[in-house]
Each structure stands twice: as structure tokens, then as C-alpha cells.
Amino acid sequence: AVVSTQSTGQDGGDDDWKRKKRDTSLNDHFLIRRRRQAEFNTLSFYVDETVGRLTMQVTFQRHADRRLLDGISMSPQDNCNTHNQETGSRFGNIVHYAVHCPCVGEWQIKVPRSIDNSWTFSAKTFGDFSIGFDVDFEQAASNGNVEWTKQPCAGDTAKLVITLTQRDSIDEASRIDVLLNGESFDDIFRLRTRDNDKWYVDIKIPKVSFKVAVRGTTVAGNTFLRIHNTEIKPTTTCLKTENIQPSALTIKAGRDTTIIMSLENKFQTGEYRLYCFNDRQRDGFETNIERPRNRVHRVIDPDRLYYIFIKVKAPQAVDEGEVVNVWCVVRSINDRAIKSYRLMVTSIFD
């Protein structure tokens, strides 16, 4: 699990640092504070009791001299006794720390100031009881068909779904928030629980890439915060599955399955070329684009859906249980989107 995101330290100018300090940034939400002292930049972050091992890394933009590499330190603010702290790997432009059984509370990383060598900081947590999470988005097509994706459609309202691990470590009576941060985008939402390990909230998907974090309270009453290690990159070219006939999961031997998709772009018009293929062509599986017949959609209206009809045909001589994977890609000059489908062969008599 990631306890804090990469945080850039730039000492090239006071104005840039002051601007970061004034705004409501992702770091503020995570209880991470940056302070500029005479010779150091200090970054503070919080560690909860579920963390069994903490690793930290500072990476300079360019090769760092010994003053920078040797001047970095990481320690708990209350100076509690922490066992097995490893000061590792000071080489090139990287300094790495690892701490086993870190103290609960606020930790600080101090980095010497440098006028011309910016740096990034990242920290990760490990442990049998360490809280982690995954991110998905539940979005609906125009006919109500719902599908999950890791790349939501920009401009859509979608359900953000958080899957938390180690639920026994979380105080379920406490508030659990999801925090989103990107360029010109910063928001916080309270999550609602839906089933055993999932929390969700409806959000308007921004056009810009953004980070996702979760903040809550452990059963011991300590704040936990985790940042997803993959940035979410919404797509402006949106492909959705409207319908799959006769079945969404299977294809009969010797028969056809029709996939109907919709194409939409709320931000850009232009020409989109369509490509579809499968991984079993040598075995006799066929994938054909029925509409549009010239395999090109000219998107001229951002409020309109443009439909795509794909026909997949299975050979007659094929064993039950075999699988064919189908991919469809649409491309414009500036963007592209891809959808994939996995169909299992069933008997013609089913």
C-alpha cells in the first residue's frame, strides 16, 4: 500500500514554494506538511499501527552530490525507539530508507535545499494487517448496461468504487473519505458502504488525470491514509458496451455473437477509425465490423452517440469451454480508446 504520493521538492524559486503552501493541495488532505527551514525542506507524513514495514525513497532530478545524499534523514517526530532502521542505497540520485515496525504517529523526512536539483519523495507500507485499496469505476451505457473500468469517460457521472483490504483493521463507524487530486482539480467525498469490502460515491469524471487516496480511522483510533500507486487517466474518447446478443459471456459453436458499442467524445470532433480483431483467427474465429461499413465514424456532434456493430463468429468444429478474446480500437489524430471482450464457447444445443 502507498502511504504517501510522490511529492516534488523544488528549490528553484520562492514563489513556486509559496504557491504550493497556500493552495488546498492533495498533501494537505493527507496530513502531509511541507516546511522550509534555513537549510532543509521538511516533509511530514502519518503512519498508523497497521504498518509493519515502511520504505522511503528520495529521487533527485539529476546526479546528486554527497552533501545532498548524506544530508537526508527520516525519523519519527516524537523520537520514539524504532528498531531495524536501514539506511540504504545512497547512490547516483537516489536515497532509500526501510524501517521495520515503525512508530505510530507523524514522521519527518528532511532534504537539504538545492537551488538547481529538484526531488521527488515516495513512501510505501507493507504488513500482514496493512490497509490497502483498489479503484474501479462503474459506468452505464445509454441503455442502462453497467460495466466496470479502470479508465472512466471524462465528463461522465460515474460511480467510483473503492475496494478496501484488511477491513478488520478499520473502524467501520468512522467516516471514510476518498480524495481526488489533479491539475486544476481537487476534491474530497465521503464514501458510502455497499457490501463487505466496497465503498462508493458518484462523481463527475474530470478531463485531467488525477490521483486517488483513501482516509479513515483504524480500530485503534489512528488516522490511516493511502494513495493509489496508479494515476487515473480519464479518456475523452469514450467507448461503451450497449448490448451483446445473444449472450454477454458466451458464443455458440458455429453461431454469431453481435456486440453493439457506442462512441462519444464530449470534447472533440473529428474522424475516428475503427479496428477489431481476435486472438483465434487461425482457428477459424471471425470478427467483422458491420457498421459503420467504411470503418470510419465522423464525430461532428459532442452530444450524440455513434453506434458500432461487431459480429463475432465461432467455427463449427471447436471444443466447448474454449475462449476467444476480441479487441476493438477507435483512433483519432489525438486520442484512442479500446474495448476487450472474452467469450467462451458453448454447445450449439445449449
pLDDT tens string 3-28: 444 444 444 333 222 223 323 334 44
Q: What is the DSSP string of 139-200?
A: EE-TT--EEEESSPBTT-EEEEEEEES-GGGB-TTS--EEEEEETTEEEEEE-EE-SSSEEE
Top pLDDT among 338 and 116 is at 338
In Å, how far are 215, 245, 268, 289 from 305, measured between CA atoms?
Answer: 37, 20, 13, 17
- The span from the CA of 40 to the CA of 305, in Å, is 54
Cis peptide before 102 (omega within 30 of 0): no
Cβ 229 vs Cβ 2: under 8 Å:
yes
The grid coordinates of residue 16 equal: 513556486
- Alpha-carbon distance of 277 to 327, in angstroms, equals 6
Q: What is the pLDDT of residue 6?
A: 42
- Give the pLDDT band of residue 2 (cuts 50, 70, 90): low
Q: Which three cell numbers stand for residue 323?
A: 475462449
Please state which of the ranges 3-17, 149-163, 256-270, 279-293 shows the lowest mean pLDDT.
Answer: 3-17
**pLDDT at residue number 310:** 96
Query: In the sheet that 286-291 helps form, which strands lie side by side, from edge to edge?
Result: 238-245, 256-264, 306-313, 286-291
Amino acid at 8: T
CA–CA gap between residue 76 and residue 125 (Å, rounded): 15
* 35: pLDDT strictly greater than 80: no
Which one has a higher pLDDT value, 2 or 209?
A: 209
- Share above pLDDT 70 across residues of the chain, in percent, rounded to a whole number: 83
* 245 bridge partner residues: 258
Residue 350's pLDDT band, with cuts at 50, 70 and 90, is low
> Which contiguous run of DSSP H or E holds residue 17?
helix 14-22
Structure confidence at residue 81 as a pLDDT band (50, 70, 90)? low
